[in-house]
Chain A
Amino acid sequence: MPEDRVKVILEELYRRGARPRKRISMRLLTAASTAASVAGLIVILVLARGAEAPLMSISDVYGNYLMNYAVVRLQGVVDGVPYLDNSTGRLTIRFALDDGTGTMNVYAYQPVSLELLRLRRIPFPGDIVTVEVQLRVRETYTYGILQSAEQIEIESPAGEPVRVKKLTTDMEGLLVRASGAVTSSRLVSSGILFTLSTEGGEITVLAPELLRFYDQERYEELVEALRPGALVEVEGIVYLYKGSSPEIVVRGFEDLKLKPPEKPVVAKVADLPGLVGKKVKLQVEVLVEEYVSSSREYTLVLRDETGSAAARAKREVLMEADPFALSSGPASVVGRVAEGGLVVVEAIEPAAAWSGRYVRVGDLGTLEEGVFVAVRGSVRDLVKRATFAIFYLDDGTGSIKVFIPVSVLQRIGFEIEEGAELSVAGYTDVYRGELEIVVFSPLGVRGG
């Protein structure tokens, strides 16, 4: 109880005998501990200066929980396009490093990521990179965190780029240059993916989203400029997407040179053999022969009073054309003439607006296969699957099967329902002996 303590205090106050009390100078202790701390820190600092992070292999550190928080150096080749994300308001950069023993992701968080961006010190596929990272070892994955923008060394492929007309898988990591016309372009999660038509074929090019972080305005201009028909010269590294599809990855805006658009030559079909390599503009009737799913292209027949020619067009090109207007009459087709007079179509535009004329279902059998038609009626026997929708349109004169692929169905903007009154426009096709209308564009479906 407290009284005991009072007793102890009283014993301190009144004492018999000259018990020498240990006196420790607090000032001395304070000064000594301060001085010794500083001396100790200096010793540690001197020793630390000579302690380099060990160069380790990914297989040694991956999954090794004893290495959690270790600072190590890794060296390898960058595998894949760097990924940038600022959805949370803070920029994160991630790239994968492959040192031959394994692959590991390296992250840079803000503000290091901002500094890397500012210094343009972001590695690309094919770059040999040495990084000093702090490891984080989780149960199922291990990654490294870059602590400073100074702790990454990048060795990019150097030398003169090799001019190519087509890509093969053995070109991985090679610095190349190619030029041609854009035949299709779309925005994907990793950037602008476009196809370049060269004399040797087609080359896929990726302008990575990283460029948007470099200069948002310029990137948006690029999105607009990289339309089918644009003439471009690109330089970049060949990267194998998913390990098998080669594409050129551009590393900066300076690696993408857009040439002034070529003015198309107004021509007739009969003129085409003499215009190989040129960009032409034709006023023709367009018929669809077939859709080649592997290349996502349509093979077409272009016909005018001077003859007919074969053509091919990317799915995206046809998707942008108004099928209702195409059903009214000829179209203006812009494209580049390839060997043999084949036209690689870059744009199709109906020559005139839609007349409003519908074909009666009962008359469809009299028409040529592959023509553009517009019909209307009630939806019957609607069947929806993962990759398409099929229904019959009944206008009182008969029923016609309508096929809509899922790529179009998803973009229509409304649900097609059994019994609904619908207008559709597309091309006629015979599938397994049955005549059907293939709707190739979301513009080809209207309610009522």
Chain B
Amino acid sequence: MLDPLSVVLWALFGVAVGLLFSWMPGFHVYNVIALLTATGLTFTFMPSDAFPFFVLGAIVSFAYASTISTVYFSVADDTMIFMLFPTQRYLVVGRGHEAVLLTLIGAFGASLVLAASLPILPLVLPTLRDLLNPYIPLFLASLVVFMFMSEWLKVGDRVENPRLRIAVAWTQALGGIFVFLASGVLGFILMYTNFLPARVAYVRLTPMFLGFFGLPWVLLNILSDVRIGEQITEDTVATDPRALLNGLFGGVLGGYIAAFFPIITGGMGALVAGHMTSQRGDDTFIVSQGANRFVYYVGAFLFLFLPTAAITRGGAAWLVSGVYQPKTYREYVYAAGVLLLASGVSFLGTLLLSKAVARVVTRHYKTISYAVAGLLFLISWALTGFMGVVVMVVASLIGLAAAFFNTRRSYCLGGLIFPVLLSMTGYTEVFASLLGL
């Protein structure tokens, strides 16, 4: 069993690794951990029981620092995209750093809530899991159906002719269905065939997610013609306590939902919680995003430490559980401490990073976008080889289709949801036969 000092040091190492990479667009901390694991670098000098704490530190810092890429590097031209996201709107009016700060406030608030809930989780979660496990397919399918039914049809609103109006509006909805199914087919092929070699199975979905969520935005940045003004880097936010609390509550709730239910991601959890708490306002939304992302990533990983019922959620948890499974209450308490320590360090680190990036992005965001695009290709190739790059390219086309149809990006999660739903309902073989697999 590790001593407390070792836990702290390995956790801080994880925080450092996370801060180093997480601000880069397209870089998911799971990719970094996977790379380190694949090369075996971590295990030449890291004891296996330190691995969970290293990863925890990295995930916490990712939950904070990844907001930088969300705010600064997913700029979109409003002629190409119908509606900017709140963080994009902040960026174009020179308040990108304020958006980062709002996200960090959400994340920090969530870290306190999560830490406070840790004594209750071992009592509540096993019961909830036993109760809800048989019905996971129902909740998953319900969420997907709701996403489709509730999509706001943005376009076509100005067309005079009613028939043409509905046709234009429904191209968005149909586009969403196309994106979901196309990504579903791609995910199915990756999960149930050996298109990617078995030796890279543990990262078999990485090129797909890079393609869905990383590369399209970078390409849009390159294609777009946006001028980003000078960014204000003062540490002030224009909001009110009620908005903060509403955002924090909704974000934490959404994060817990996403962390607990398999396959349901942070974005989907945020959708659920946003409706339940009736969130309004850009500042509320951004705070809730920060809280949601924190609880989703960190909370899901923390479940692995639960002594009463180790629930494995998320790629990082699966990877770690293959190496070392935390077992004791002491490790659980260590994890709580790491959570708080890493949160504090990451908060400050991200704040500084944001100021640094704010000065650079306005002048060089296209150059950075080119570099990032190259980096994504490199990661994909390093992890999964040439076939992985092919997957990433096809996934990018699907991700771009989502953007051009003005439909939800989260439909790309069909790559995960669709094959899992088929598996849970026993239609894997039927669908495989349909595809000739």
Q: Which of B92, B318, B423 is in CB contact (< 8 Å) with A68? A: B318
A30 lies within 8 A of B404 (CB): yes
B229 lies within 8 A of A8 (CB): yes
B397 lies within 8 A of A37 (CB): yes
Q: Flag whether A188 is at the interface (Cβ < 8 A).
A: no
Query: Using a CB–CB distance below 8 Å, which chain B residues touch chain A?
Result: 37-38, 79-80, 92-94, 130, 133-134, 175, 178, 182, 185-186, 189, 191-195, 198-202, 204, 223, 225, 227, 229-230, 232, 318-319, 321-325, 387, 390-391, 393-394, 397-398, 400-401, 404-405, 423-426, 428-429, 432, 435-437
Provide the residues of chain A in CB contact with B194, threshold 8 Å.
48, 51-54, 71
Give the Cβ gap from B40 to chain A, nearest Cβ, in Å. Answer: 10
A1 lies within 8 A of B232 (CB): yes
Q: Flag whether A41 is at the interface (Cβ < 8 A).
A: yes
B401 lies within 8 A of A33 (CB): yes
Q: Flag whether A273 is at the interface (Cβ < 8 A).
A: no
> Can you name the residue of chain B whose Cβ is closest to the Cβ of A36?
B397
Closest 9 CB pairs of A and B: A65-B322, A70-B201, A111-B426, A40-B394, A30-B404, A70-B198, A148-B429, A5-B93, A139-B325
Q: Flag whether A224 is at the interface (Cβ < 8 A).
A: no
Q: Flag whether A17 is at the interface (Cβ < 8 A).
A: no
B401 lies within 8 A of A30 (CB): yes
A90 lies within 8 A of B134 (CB): yes
Provide the residues of chain A in CB contact with B37, threshold 8 Å.
65-66
**Interface digits, A64-81 against B, CB 8 Å rule (1 contact, 0 not)?**
011111111000000000
Given contacts A29-B400, A47-B387, A65-B322, 18 further A-B contacts (CB under 8 A): A5-B92, A21-B225, A33-B397, A33-B401, A33-B404, A41-B182, A41-B185, A44-B394, A48-B193, A49-B436, A53-B194, A66-B38, A67-B199, A69-B318, A90-B134, A138-B321, A139-B324, A139-B325
Provide the residues of chain A in CB contact with B321, threshold 8 Å.
138-139
Provide the residues of chain A in CB contact with B134, threshold 8 Å.
88-90
B229 lies within 8 A of A49 (CB): no
Bound-complex Cα distance A76 to B18 (A): 43
Provide the residues of chain A in CB contact with B393, threshold 8 Å.
40
Q: Which of B80, B391, B401, B428 is in CB contact (< 8 Å) with A37? A: B401
B202 lies within 8 A of A69 (CB): yes
B198 lies within 8 A of A65 (CB): no
Provide the residues of chain A in CB contact with B404, threshold 8 Å.
26, 29-30, 33
A-B contact pairs, 11 of them (CB 8 A): A29-B400, A30-B175, A40-B393, A44-B390, A44-B391, A45-B437, A48-B193, A56-B198, A67-B199, A69-B318, A139-B323
Interface centre among B193, B204, B325 (most CB of A within 10 A): B193
B432 lies within 8 A of A148 (CB): yes
Q: Which of A90, A114, A138 is in CB contact (< 8 Å) with B325? A: A138
Provide the residues of chain B in CB contact with A151, threshold 8 Å.
429
